[in-house]
Structure 1
């Protein structure tokens, strides 16, 4: 009777090395997978930002400009795009007052913007928003400026909010009439001068300029009854005022 050879069980040592080899192979496989996935994620062609949606009420903000700016400053894949940096870039645009940015899976970007609200032209070359903050944006179309009816304010640096508040207080007083401030000048010594839509210039001085403007409003019906055209009114008096009349040459 022949004997059947018995299979020897693998030793514990050989089992350990087999398991170790399997574990090492698994680790290598995972590392290769992570490297390839990371390379894929970094490849703009594999996961580009395909759709940028700009929302919010806007008149002067250019959606195309925002899209081009984001793609130029945040080149890379959807996954690599830095939302915080994009937010800062968009808010740095002159006409953007506030912005929020978020990714939209799988390849979109949503940008919500709050546009600056222009309140006045400042020193001929800049704009003031409704809070009296300067923003360096130009309105290239004169027709748009005329439509917005923005007053022109002039003053020393740092006086923007004072000038805007002074303008608002004076215009509020003039709202009961058909007069509007088209230009306002605030000197280095904080003396107020304004020009009205009818061409009359008012010198209000440094102090009590609201009371002095009220004096003009009270006396304007009497002044306007004169046959001559008013050039300027000097209100820098405790009582009364001085009127400068246009000459015949000025009226031509």
Structure 2
């Protein structure tokens, strides 16, 4: 005679193992399905990024080159494309100041660009934007003032340039070159060739003194070569001689 308790225990074990096997089969199915789904999502041929849509105002950014860089760095499908990587790539480009990147279903990548605005050349090899930040880009075709100064003085030099350029705006004598020394002494070269030595202190007041005196200086028989304004009152003037003009 077979015990009912033994039969019941065997049935329970059977149910348990059946459940375990079923669970394993379900998990295996999910894993296989997940792998196939992932592979499908990574397949560029099934869900390619067909359009890279650039917007914003820009003159110097080479859009064709930038799109080529993006597609080369992100060769996968729409799902596989890493927006953060694209963002870092775009903002690393010389003429890009800021960018935003997002996907748009089903096959579009939208990129909004804010281009750098160069306002001056800095120490020959860099450019300055309106915030006194440097960036490296080619601007040989741009007629920009040249600013020079020690490292870390970019904002100071640009602020001084803006203040002095505003003062000179009514005189038709724009600044061609500005130099800020290690001791923060200011020197200017105007586009008409006149050099101004303003020193370290009260450079705005000294520039105003030059502006007030220039109509009198311009009446002289010889053109002005330089003006030294490093005095509490008055100024020292150097004149172009005939030899200077011939050389």
TM-score over 0.5 for the alignment? yes
Query: 2:38 aligned with 1:33, yes or no?
Result: no
Paired with 1:122 and 1:220, the residues of 2 have a C-alpha distance of: 29
Paired with 1:135 and 1:195, the residues of 2 have a C-alpha distance of: 24
Give how far 1:22 is off: 6.5
1:60 aligned partner:
60
Distance 1:20 1:240, change over 3 A: closer
Paired with 2:18 and 2:194, the residues of 1 have a C-alpha distance of: 100
Query: 2:186 aligned with 1:159, yes or no?
Result: no
Question: C-alpha offsets along residues 102-149 of structure 1, whole Å, 9 cap, x if unaligned?
Answer: 001112100001111111111111100000000011114x2xx13xxx
Instruction: Look up the SS of the partner of 1:199 in the other structure.
Output: coil
Computed over aligned residues only, the root mean square deviation of the Cα atoms, in angstroms, reads 2.0
1:96 aligned partner:
96
Paired with 2:222 and 2:23, the residues of 1 have a C-alpha distance of: 103
Instruction: Look up the SS of the partner of 2:245 in the other structure.
Output: coil
1:172 aligned partner:
166
Paired with 1:193 and 1:22, the residues of 2 have a C-alpha distance of: 85
Match of 1:212 among 185, 206, 213: 206
Query: 2:48 aligned with 1:48, yes or no?
Result: yes
Structure 2: gaps spanning 5 or more residues: 1-10
Give how far 1:30 is off: 3.5
Query: 2:241 aligned with 1:251, yes or no?
Result: no
Paired with 2:103 and 2:177, the residues of 1 have a C-alpha distance of: 45
- What pairs up with 1:1-252 in 2 under 5 angstroms? 26-140=26-140, 142=141, 145-146=142-143, 150-252=144-246
Paired with 1:19 and 1:172, the residues of 2 have a C-alpha distance of: 84
Q: Hey, which of these two has a bigger chunk of helix by percent? A: 2
Instruction: Look up the SS of the partner of 1:203 in the other structure.
Output: strand
Give aligned pairs, total.
235
Paired with 1:27 and 1:133, the residues of 2 have a C-alpha distance of: 56
Provide the TM-score with structure 2 as the length reference: 0.88
Give how far 1:31 is off: 3.1
Paired with 2:21 and 2:152, the residues of 1 have a C-alpha distance of: 73
Question: C-alpha offsets along residues 130-180 of structure 1, whole Å, 9 cap, x if unaligned?
Answer: 00000011114x2xx13xxx2110111110000000000111111121110
Paired with 1:207 and 1:56, the residues of 2 have a C-alpha distance of: 43
Instruction: Look up the SS of the partner of 2:198 in the other structure.
Output: strand
Structure 1: gaps spanning 5 or more residues: 1-11
